[in-house]
Structure 1
Amino acid sequence: MKQWCCLWGLICFCLMATAQDNPGSALILQATTLNKGLYKSFREFQQNSPSESGDLVIKSRSTAAQIYLLASRNELVLRDAAGQEHKVKNYWGFCDGTSLYIKDNGLNRIQATGYYCTYELQGVQPSRSAYNPADMTVNAMNTPVRLKKVINIVTGEILELSLYNLKKYILPQDPALLEEFRTDKSKRDKLDYYISRFNERNKPPQSGQ
């Protein structure tokens, strides 16, 4: 009897460990409440379980800092009991209790969740200088930079949202939608549409499946 109890305990332990390590659990998609805090890894984000909390704040950087210091547009800081701010390093993402953010050249808010979550990198870069004959000055012209990306909620793989990646890696999982994409002459302007359609038609495996 004792041997059977030990064996059953071992089986239960293995099942629990498997459920915790299952990359397809995607629990954050099912969450009714987002837990506030810092994600040290993709797995913590996936399971809605930030490992650190505190008075965490996103601070924006000026355009000048982004250009001349080659810095990202924002950073995450932790305020201590004395009100001092300390830059946070070595983390994967952040949740403020309402929105989700992924660290990728600064913090970027996740715009849509699903099998593929979407977010957009934003920044500025100097492009050219323009001479103003009225006051004989030279003004720097700054160009906004935007790049849409997607993250697979099951594997954590991050891809640029592009025609090539849709055709090569994402839509082949849905042959009917891939065929619609191939025959769509205006698909170049409908990248967000096809990610949204894929998310509507395909749900990631849930915990225990």
Structure 2
Amino acid sequence: MKRALLFLGSLLLTVSAVAQEMRNTTDLSTLIIYAKEYNKGLYRSFKDFQTNSPSENGDLVIIDRSTAAQTYLLADKNQLVIRDGAGEHKVKDYWGYCDGRNLYVKDNGLNKIIETGYYCIYRQHGQQASRGYYNPADMTVNNISNPVELVKVINIMTGEIYDLSAYNLRKYILPQDNELLEEFRSDKEKKDKLEYYIRRFNQRNKPTI
């Protein structure tokens, strides 16, 4: 048992050291939030996005799916395809995409990043089926589709993605800025100002190693 505990402790120290080494070797000047222009292409990993370094390129295009497909087939709102001589092929296993002007993260389809910074902001859109209603004219039950939206943020240093909620701001994000955290805690209208606070955080804080 003692030998197993020693091995586990050694393993944890090794993992921690590797993570710290990766963090220390990050060149902040390569972060996409400082890029003057975005390189077009496919991000296979968060690292590709973080450093503005798409790993693949080609004739890539985003194709929207119908509301019915999203609601009844549980399909993503859109999909990324690559075109070649054999036609269109769905792209699989990737993190995001850049069309040369806009940045997208894959999360229930591709969602445009609307602001970059220490925490990049995007809105996840989709369709959700609600309870059906009976139509006496043709004796059928029809489902109503409701659009849903979640605001999410990406930590540019770690790749962690959080729902933009009062809890996540208070617990994980704002503790890095004590003054802003205290302002948030005392704000009685904070639940209606979540994006305001994440933007304030981005203005006041820059990524560090």
> Fold match, TM over 0.5?
yes
Q: Which residue of 2 aligns with 1:39?
A: 43
Deviation at 1:131, TM superposition (A): 3.4
- Residue 54 in 1 paired to residue 58 in 2? yes
Please give the TM-score of this superposition, normalised by the length of structure 1: 0.84
- Residue 174 in 1 paired to residue 174 in 2? no
- Where in structure 2 are the equivalents of 1:55-204 lying within 5 Å? 55-82=59-86, 84-132=87-135, 138-204=141-207
Q: 1:26 to 1:183 in 2, by over 3 A?
A: farther
- Say which SS state the counterpart of residue 119 (structure 1) adopts: strand
Q: 1:147 to 1:19 in 2, by over 3 A?
A: closer
Deviation at 1:167, TM superposition (A): 0.3
Q: Which has the higher contact order (CA 8 A, sep 6+)?
A: 1
The residue type paired with residue 202 of structure 1 is N
Structure 2 residue ranges without an equivalent (≥5): 1-20
Deviation at 1:132, TM superposition (A): 4.5
The 2-side partners of 1:54 and 1:31 are apart by 21
The residue type paired with residue 22 of structure 1 is T
Q: Show CA shifts across 1:39-73 (max 9, x none).
A: 11111101101010000000100111112211110
Task: Give the conservation status (yes or no) of the 8 Å contact 2:129–2:143.
Answer: yes
Task: Give the conservation status (yes or no) of the 8 Å contact 1:26–1:153.
Answer: no
Deviation at 1:104, TM superposition (A): 1.1
Q: 1:197 to 1:149 in 2, by over 3 A?
A: same
Deviation at 1:79, TM superposition (A): 0.3
Deviation at 1:137, TM superposition (A): 5.3
The 1-side partners of 2:52 and 2:88 are apart by 26
The residue type paired with residue 107 of structure 1 is L
Deviation at 1:25, TM superposition (A): 4.9
Q: 1:34 to 1:20 in 2, by over 3 A?
A: farther
Task: Give the conservation status (yes or no) of the 8 Å contact 1:77–1:86.
Answer: yes
Deviation at 1:20, TM superposition (A): 9.7
Please give the TM-score of this superposition, normalised by the length of structure 2: 0.84
